């Protein structure tokens, strides 16, 4: 339980709540292999995730030494979506402790949100497949607004939909998009050490870092008031 209730808690999805890397990697590698390019090991793809499907596709082809034209990218994006929708939860699982944590937060009547750069179509499908869709009061995605993380307005607008004060909210994520957005929004930032990030979470300097969700409540409860200063 949290000793001091935040106005809301926002979670990133890929690499934070759900371990989606294997299915994302399989989808990207499907595109690469069917177009005669070299596949990429899933450990490398883990650190390419976080900015949406188009960015992942571009990174995959750049890894193969190619810069995609906009028209090519859109064709590949359609192929990516079609394949991923059919395989979105083949190997994807929730990270350990997620359900226990969400259940505890719900008992405290704290509003919950997903704030992701994934598209709304894929986000809703995945949350339903993982059977956690109904935990969240609000779900905002990469196409919910005209801006997305690391733009702090993504977080601020998500809080507004919950009628929550951003200054009293918490953002939990795994990458620079999450941590920078939280800092710029004046929110408490919680970084997870097990996610997908090109820059190590320790070098992003969130207010605190957790290694698993069983640490979540104790870590936040130990924070002193001055820790929240951005």
Catalytic residues: 12
The span from the CA of 174 to the CA of 147, in Å, is 19
CA dihedral over 167, 222, 214, 107, signed as positive or negative: negative
Strands (E), the chain: 9-11, 18-19, 93-94, 112-115, 138-140, 170-173, 188-192, 208-210
C-beta of residue 212 within 8 angstroms of C-beta of residue 195: no
Structure tokens at 79: 């192929």
Assign 57 to helix, strand or coil: helix
Return the closest-CA partner of residue 174 out of 144, 215, 202, 145.
202
Which helix (H) or strand (E) segment is 19 a member of? strand 18-19
Q: What are phi and psi of 11, to 5 degrees?
A: -125, 135
């Amino acid at each position: 339980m949290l000793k001091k209730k935040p106005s809301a808690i926002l979670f990133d999805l890929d690499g934070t709540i759900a371990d989606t890397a294997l299915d994302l990697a399989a989808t990207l590698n499907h595109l690469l292999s069917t177009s005669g390019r070299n596949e990429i090991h899933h450990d490398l793809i883990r650190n390419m995730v976080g900015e949406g499907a188009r960015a992942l596709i571009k990174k995959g082809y750049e890894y193969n030494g190619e810069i995609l034209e906009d028209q090519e990218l859109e064709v590949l994006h359609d192929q990516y979506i079609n394949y991923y929708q059919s395989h979105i939860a083949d190997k994807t699982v929730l990270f350990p402790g997620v359900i226990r944590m969400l259940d505890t937060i719900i008992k405290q009547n704290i509003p919950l949100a997903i704030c992701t750069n994934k598209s709304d179509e894929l986000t809703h499908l995945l949350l339903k497949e993982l059977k956690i869709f109904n935990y969240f009061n609000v779900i905002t995605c990469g196409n919910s607004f005209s801006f997305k993380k690391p733009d702090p307005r993504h977080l601020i607008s998500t809080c507004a939909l919950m009628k929550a004060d951003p200054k009293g909210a918490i953002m939990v994520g795994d990458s620079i998009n999450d941590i920078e957005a939280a800092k710029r929004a004046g929110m408490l930032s919680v970084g997870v050490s097990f996610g997908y990030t090109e820059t190590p979470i320790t070098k992003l300097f969130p207010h605190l870092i957790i290694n698993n969700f069983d640490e979540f409540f104790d870590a936040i409860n130990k924070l002193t008031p001055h820790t929240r200063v951005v």
